[in-house]
Structure 1
Amino acid sequence: MDAAVDDDTTSTTSRTSRTARPCRTDARGLAVGTRSQAAVDHLEAALQAMLSYFGDPLAALDAATAEDPGWALPTTLKAGLLLTMGEHGPTLQARQLLRGGAEAAARGTERERAHAHAAAAAAAGDWEAACDAWEAILVRWPLDVAALLFAHLFDFYRGDALNLKRRPQRVLPHWADGLPLRGFVLGMLAFGLEESGHHAQAEDAGRAALAVNPRDPWAVHAVTHVFEMQGRHHDGARWLRSRHADWAVDNGFAFHQWFHAALFQMEALDTEGALATYDAHLAPATDMALQRVDGTAVLWRLKLLGVDVASRFDALRRTWSTQAPDAGFYAFNDLHALIALAGAGDVAALQSAGDSLLDALRSPASGGPTNRRMSAEVGLPLALAFTDHASGRWSDAARGLLRCRDRAHGFGGSHAQRDLLTLTLLDAAVRAGDRALARHVLHERFPAKAGTPLTALWLQRIGRLA
């Protein structure tokens, strides 16, 4: 591994002469632009942490840089990881890292230079271009799991269910059994299959991933989504309990699994259990927008079920920023910030901070071209509909949600997360006395969830309108 090797790992060619630094290879045989095996080992630990959410990948990347300060890839991947948080502050940090590491990145291998290019596109807010650049890496180097992970997460943020499925499918044949980190590729494939509606295949892929690595929270999560989409809420709750040690202890993804646990509880109309889940596991998790989104969604669903959560919403909405540049960076987050305001029931706060959020969605200056499109096409229309709902304009809210809901995948989130829109539409239609619309929308739940207590509750509410 001490000799310089070509970037495609299959032959030695003159391309290696363009790499100023001698190369080693990583655990999958990909050339890396460092002489230090210790640095390579730290990078492998970082990839393991990034994929599993166990441990601190940023610290591992910093350790790799400390071993070889001239090796740019750890800094580039650190920037990429910060970018996947989908927030303005971490993106500023990523931009600074990329600027500071530009000279070293130019001396890296061809693959490492391509990573810097992809990260720069994401940092500029052009998430489509970034995914195209990561895809170009995967065409040449299908074992580059960092490129796969980053593209997978931004496919999710952009609502690109097709590539959530196809990207892992395209590279998986290159991943031989026993290759380090292969199980995580199966886990990503499982989630992509679920979001594309291939539920049986998704469950099989998720279970196969867990057979390789039982502590793969992403695979646990993918199978959990299958249970949610198939209306198997009791099975889903048992699944999470049975795998508790694999996702709930010292894991950075646990907050989202607790979100799913609360969804299963609410499907069973166990609102006390869902409220306890929120208080114990979601209320304390507010450092990242990803966490605040889940807490906001659980409280809003409880509110729709008639649970008094105003005081909890009041505490949660104070953790959201409603001013640019934080607002206006990612429309999916902005909508949830507005929902938190609406849930708190503070009319004055909704008028002032809500107007700031709407302004940020109208002119999203802090994001980039991808978010400008998402805000215009999805974020702003949905925010206006939720504002109508908060103001008691039920018919307007129902019409606004109905117009936009079917294209809401265009601003990211999963089917399970976007179900919040359907539940709010049902609530608005019932409150507006529009029995025909309410039944029309509720029929969507029948194929998978006709027999759940939550569906029965909506049938009762609609029946009372007659």
Structure 2
Amino acid sequence: MVTDRYGNPLFECTAEAAAHLDRAVEGLLFFRPEFPTAVADAVAASPTAPLAQAFSAYLGVLGTEPRDAAEARRRFTAYAAGLDRSALPRRERMHLAAAEAWLGGDMGTAAHVLEELVVEHPRDPLALAVGHQLDFFTGDATRLRDRIGGALPAWDADDPHRGPLMGMYAFGLEESGHYDRAQEFALAAVERNPRDVWAIHAVVHVHEMRGRFADGIDYLDARLDDWASGTLLTVHSWWHYALYALEAGDTDTAIRIYDAVLHHKDSSGFVMELLDAASLLWRFLLADLDQDARWGALADAWAARADPPYYAFNDVHAVMAFAGAGRLAEADAFLAERRRWLEHDDAHRTTNHMMTAEIGLPVGEALVAYVRGDHETVVDLLWPLRRRVHTFGGSHAQRDAVQRTLLESALRAGRADLAGRLLGERAGLSPHSPYNWLRQARLADTLGEAGRAAVARDTANELAAPAATRLNRQLHRPYLARTP
């Protein structure tokens, strides 16, 4: 029996297919755009190999694209029909069980099966990487950290394949609040593999959460060749750059990034890119910065997808686009359709049922209420959810669009008590954020505390100045010109 490069036996797999699988796993770990081709090559070389079929199934769900998932489910069902799973090694059976669960919409079972698998096979990078993404999609920061941390002792310090696991561990550490340790692991991972964009991404998140935006810009500028083009995280990494620019008050740079990378006439229409576009424009909307033309084009792109209910995190960003474009009837109809879906028996068997019922719908309703100027309703909907929003997936940085919506509505509704509480929470976690200080100034204005407001604005300006200075170097502009 052949083995992969990590020493795992591969059942009913030829040497050719094993080589393709090794290439596919490496591509997945480093977010290389060509890795789906390697998966297809593995299936073609050994169509009965369980690992090749499981990987193909994972590929169908990792992008959270409903149509890709449906096609992957069709292929997997055809493969599994009549398959004698009892004849398969346990590792292969567990991969197939995890893939089948996720294809069926049960993300929790899939995550659990893969966690049990790596207890027995901690040197299975496919199980670790797919499980890591499941933890991200379900907002489980503790398991995002510990799934990888528990397996790392099985990878020697000098193991050439340990690097991407360190990057994944760094992201889990960051999402669970261990920022020093996260940065340590992420920087070490990048030192091993300079184009490890997931590890670069972890460093970027650490700077975001700490409000160290100038440091984040310095880091991204220093590694532009490694992340700014040619990876599956290119668009998302530019989104982070745009967030840094917004925090520095440089809206022009953020808009240049939006137009060149996040959404334009040649954009792919992939949901992962539309998420970033909606999230960035929503931050402009919260700041009362007009983006009507961009909102209209983005809402058209979401409407063209006509997605069925699949992942509530995506649905919330579709509602952002419809509401941001002023197409409130469209947003209302979208939410009504999700409510009807919740009543179907099939919906109750999916993780997305819980995500939609408990988080997706109330957050979507709050976004629409915000655009309607009904800030009391926004507060009523989001205040009880603010510590549970993570359960519908994403990162702290992504979900901050929802948290900022709650804060903005609390300020606009004159709820100084709640706004003060929210700002206290934010400032405690990120005291260097200009955004947080500017909102402190607005709250002080509301309370008639002119001196306190002036100090807060001065502090925001002082904190933003270093990041603005970095952006003035405009080292990023040549990369934007050549980014597809």
Q: TM-score, normalised by structure 2?
A: 0.86
1:443 aligns with 2:421: no
- Partner Cα separation in structure 1 for residue 115 and residue 135 of structure 2: 11
Name structure 2 gaps, 5 residues minimum.
448-484
CA contact (8 A) 1:322 1:354 kept: no
Residue 154 of structure 1 deviates from its aligned partner by 0.8
Separation of aligned partners in 1, 2:192 and 2:146: 21
Aligned to 1:419: 400
Is 1:294 aligned to residue 276 of structure 2?
A: yes
Matches within 5 A, 1:52-451: 52-102=30-80, 106=85, 108-284=88-264, 285-321=267-303, 326-360=307-341, 368-451=349-432
- One-letter code aligned to 2:277: G
Deviations 1:278-305 (A, max 9, x none): 1111014452222211110000001111
Shift of 1:144: 0.7
More deviation, 77-86/173-182: 173-182
> Matches of 1:94 and 1:438 in 2, distance apart?
46
Query: Are the equivalent residues in 1 in contact too, given 2:278–2:320 (CA < 8 A)?
Result: yes
CA distance in 2, matches of 1:407, 1:283: 30
Quote the Cα distance in structure 2 between the aligned partners of 1:224 and 1:241: 11
Structure 1 stretch 449-458 or stretch 388-397: which is displaced more?
A: 449-458
Q: Is the 8 A contact 1:286 1:319 kept in 2?
A: no
Q: In structure 2, do the counterparts of structure 1 residues 126 and 452 end up closer, same or farther at CA, with 3 Å as the change threshold?
A: closer
| Distance change >3 Å, CA 289–CA 279, structure 1 → 2 | same
- In structure 1, the residue matched to 2:455 is none
One-letter identity of the residue aligned with 1:307 = L
Instruction: Tell me whether 1:46 sits opposite 2:27 in the alignment.
Output: no
Deviating runs (4+, > 6 A) in structure 1? none
Specify every segment of 5 or more residues in structure 1 that has no aligned partner in the other structure, as ranges.
Answer: 1-22
How far does residue 382 in structure 1 lie from its aligned partner after superposition? 1.4
Match of 1:461 among 434, 442, 455: 442
Q: Show CA shifts across 1:2-42 (max 9, x none).
A: xxxxxxxxxxxxxxxxxxxxx11111111012452222111
**For residues 465 and 160 of structure 1, what CA distance do their matches in structure 2 show?**
37
In 2: Cα distance, 1:454 partner to 1:362 partner? 41
* Counterpart AA for 1:406: R
Cα shift at 1:448: 4.3
Residues 380 and 399 of structure 1: is their aligned pair in 2 closer, same or farther, counting only changes over 3 Å? same
Q: CA deviation at 1:66?
A: 2.6
Deviation, 1:375, is 1.4
Secondary structure at the aligned position of 2:370 is classed as helix
1:292 aligned partner, one-letter code: L
Identity percentage of aligned residues: 37
How far apart in 1 are the matches of 2:205 and 2:343? 33
How many residues are treated as equivalent by the alignment?
A: 443
Is the Cα contact below 8 Å between 1:127 and 1:154 reproduced in 2? yes
Task: Answer whether contact 2:335 2:361 (CA < 8 A) is retained.
Answer: no
| Residues 25 and 31, structure 1, Cα contact 8 Å, conserved in 2 | yes
- 8 Å contact kept, 1:227–1:235: yes
Q: Is the 8 A contact 2:247 2:433 kept in 1?
A: yes
Q: Deviation of residue 55 (structure 1)?
A: 3.6
Question: Per-residue displacement from partner, 1:259-291 (whole Å, max 9, x unpaired)?
Answer: 111111111121121111111110144522222
Quote how far apart the aligned CAs of 1:105 are. 7.7
Question: In 2, Cα distance between the equivalents of 1:269 and 1:97?
Answer: 49
- The verdict on how the C-alpha distance between 1:420 and 1:352 changes in structure 2, with shifts beyond 3 A counting, is same
Which piece of structure 1 moves more, 266-275 or 165-174?
266-275
The one of the two structures with greater contact order (alpha-carbon pairs below 8 A, sep at least 6) is: 2
How far apart in 1 are the matches of 2:342 and 2:228?
Answer: 35
Deviates more, 1:151-160 or 1:363-372: 363-372
Please say if residues 210 and 432 of structure 2, whose CA atoms lie closer than 8 Å, have aligned partners that are also in contact: no
* Offset, 1:433: 2.1
8 Å contact from structure 2 (residues 210, 431) kept in 1: no
Q: Say whether the 8 Å CA contact 1:331–1:361 is kept in structure 2.
A: no
Change in CA separation of 1:383 and 1:35 when aligned onto 2, cut-off 3 Å: closer
Q: Which amino acid aligns with 2:139?
A: G
Give the secondary structure class of the aligned counterpart of 2:302: coil
